Amino acid sequence: MKRLFLLVLILSICGCSATKYQPAEGSWAGGYKDFKIAPGIYRISFEGNAYISGEKAYHYTLYRAAEVTKENNCAWFEIIEKDQAARTEYAGCLLGNVEKPRNAIVIKVFKDNPPENAYFADDLIKSLNEK
């Protein structure tokens, strides 16, 4: 009975909400990470919890890619590698196995003369903010 009460207390404090758009550092709930691989090339990843859809997690990954592009005084980015997956994790006896979406992309940023399949960072940010 004490264990059940403790579990209910923890869930009520933490809430059962989807992973927010946030850096992953220090966050057990997930978030984004990025790092520079080479000049103009970055790896962006996002890991969500069981309450976020794979689509929303991917939108957060793209949003962070657009931010990284702008932080580097560039306007465009091209996805040169993409990995979308889900990780199954045991979440305890009440929830059992849950699926957590994970995304990783490698981007190349451009100030001008982008390739045909490049994203314009400002348009992407505006579009995702509307969703």
Residue with tokens 């390739």: 115
Residue predicted with more confidence, 105 or 52? 105
| Reported pTM | 0.80
Please indicate, yes or no, if residue 115 is contained in any of the structural domains.
yes
Q: Is residue 111 part of a domain?
A: yes
79 occurs within a structural domain: yes
Domains: count for the chain? 1
Residue 103 sits at the vertex; the CA angle it makes with 36 and 81, to the nearest 5 degrees, is: 55
The answer to whether residue 1 sits within a structural domain is no
* pLDDT for res 8: 43
Determine, yes or no, domain membership for 4. Answer: no
> In the predicted model, what is the mean pLDDT of residues 69-92?
85
pLDDT digits (tens, 9 = 90+) for 29-55: 689 999 999 999 999 999 988 888 889
Helices 54-71, 121-129: inter-axial angle, 10-degree rounding: 140
Q: Report whether 44 contacts 61 (CB < 8 A).
A: yes
